[in-house]
Amino acid sequence: MSKLEQEGRREFLKKAAAGTVVTLAPGVMLHSLSAEAAPRTEPVTGKVRWGMLIDANKCAEGCNDCVAACDKENGLNLVDMPEGADESLWERQRPRWIRQITLKDNLTGRLTSLPMMCQHCEEPPCADVCPTGASFRRADGIVMVDRHICIGCRYCMMACPYKARSFIHAEVAEKLTHTPRGKGCVESCNFCVHRLDNGQTTTACQDACKHQAIIFGDLNDPQSAVSQALKKYPSVAIRDDLKLNPGVRYSNI
């Protein structure tokens, strides 16, 4: 074997070894990382039921802070209008998890402002109608979509009485790690589940509301701020007639 050939072989082995390290290292890293994050692999339980009380009296008309905060927290502001799209049509196609609504009472003319989002029903119609089970309710009351098995049929959007869901109508170039998003799937507010799973106890909309109109917490804990407030003030569930027992309640509407 000539020296030249030998050197070629040595070079090849070196490169192969380097290639192997580059290929395997991320996997090994990931493995060790996930090992550290062990508590998150434990299933959520029904000991907690996340919920919210929104005081419509405190919610200021024209204020959009909760919407902006949600957009930023969940990467909705990264969803760009596709080139060549019609602007007014795109406005009706772009995703929204929370929205500001102003109501007028038909009899008295009284105006009320409130934020509206997924109401995290105990009996969610979206999960009932979903053919694959992609729409589901976690044990802790959060209703969300498993984006791996959502086929994009939009039956959940037909069934939701709160119009709380959005379909991703276009390719999304940039997305946040904690809120993956793909064209052709349905999504909605998930109470900032990534925060809760990491031990935080607030949602982005709640943090952003300078009027303190949103109280979030554990409905099962009688000492939590939300439970105390619900005990103290009269509140209603929207579309209470449907008996869905939503986790989001409103007062003063």
Partner 1 sequence: MKKIHFSEWGIDSPRYWGMLALLGAFVAVAGLSVLYMEHNGHWVTGMTNQIVWGMPHVFAIFLIVAASGALNVASIGTAFDKKVYKPLGRLSALLAITLLAGGLAVLVLDLGQPGRLLIAMTHYNFKSIFAWNIYLYMGFMAVVALYIWFMMDWRMNKYYKPVGILAFLWRIILTTGTGSIFGFIVARQGYDAAILAPMFVIMSFAYGLAVYILVLMFTFKVDGREIGDVVLRRLKNLLGVFAAAVFYFTLVYHLTNLYGTENHAYEAFILRDGGIYTLLFWGGWVFVGCLLPIGIVYHPALGKTRGGIIAAATAVILGGLATVYVIVIGGQAFPMAIFPGKTIVASGFFDGVNGQPFLYSPTLAETLLGIGGIALTLLLTFIAIRVLRFLPTSLANEVADPHYAKS
Q: Closer CB to partner 1, residue 39 or residue 84?
A: 84
When binding is defined by CB under 8 A, the residue of 54, 56, 168, 192 that contacts partner 1 is 168
CB of 16 to partner 1, least distance (A): 35
Q: Closer CB to partner 1, residue 60 or residue 225?
A: 60
# residues contacting partner 1 (CB under 8 A)? 63
For residues 133 and 141, give the distance between their C-alpha atoms in angstroms, rounded to a whole number: 16
When binding is defined by CB under 8 A, the residue of 49, 120, 138, 165 that contacts partner 1 is 165
Residues 6+ apart with CB under 8 A from 179: 74, 75, 194
Q: For partner 1, which stretch binds (CB under 8 A), given 10-18, 38-46, 177-185, 227-235?
A: 177-185
Q: What are phi and psi of 214, to 5 degrees?
A: -115, 125
The dihedral over CA atoms of 62, 246, 225, 227, expressed in degrees to the nearest 10, equals 140
Contact flag: residue 184 with partner 1 (CB under 8 A): yes
Whether the CB-CB separation of 197 and 185 falls below 8 Å is answered with no
Residues 6+ apart with CB under 8 A from 180: 147
When binding is defined by CB under 8 A, the residue of 153, 176, 225, 237 that contacts partner 1 is 153
Say how many CA atoms lie within 13 Å of 196 toward its Cβ: 19
Contact flag: residue 72 with partner 1 (CB under 8 A): no
Q: Closer CB to partner 1, residue 32 or residue 106?
A: 106
Q: Closer CB to partner 1, residue 153 or residue 225?
A: 153
Which residues are 145's β-sheet partners?
A: 135
Residues 6+ apart with CB under 8 A from 28: none
Contact flag: residue 248 with partner 1 (CB under 8 A): no
Binding map of partner 1 across residues 213-242, x = CB under 8 A, - = no contact: -------------------------xx--x
Site for partner 1 in 87-116 (CB under 8 A): 89-96, 99-107, 111-112, 116
Contact flag: residue 155 with partner 1 (CB under 8 A): yes
Structure tokens belonging to residue 131: 């053919």
Contact flag: residue 77 with partner 1 (CB under 8 A): no
45 vs 67, 137, 142, CA distance in Å?
29, 12, 11
Query: 127-149 burial string, b = 16+ CB within 10 Å, else e?
Result: beebeeebbbbbebbbbbbebee
Site for partner 1 in 1-60 (CB under 8 A): none
CB of 175 to partner 1, least distance (A): 14
Contact flag: residue 166 with partner 1 (CB under 8 A): yes
Whether the CB-CB separation of 181 and 151 falls below 8 Å is answered with no
The contact set with partner 1 (CB under 8 A) reads 61, 64, 67, 82, 85, 89-96, 99-107, 111-112, 116, 125, 127-134, 149-155, 157-163, 165-171, 183-186, 238-239, 242, 253
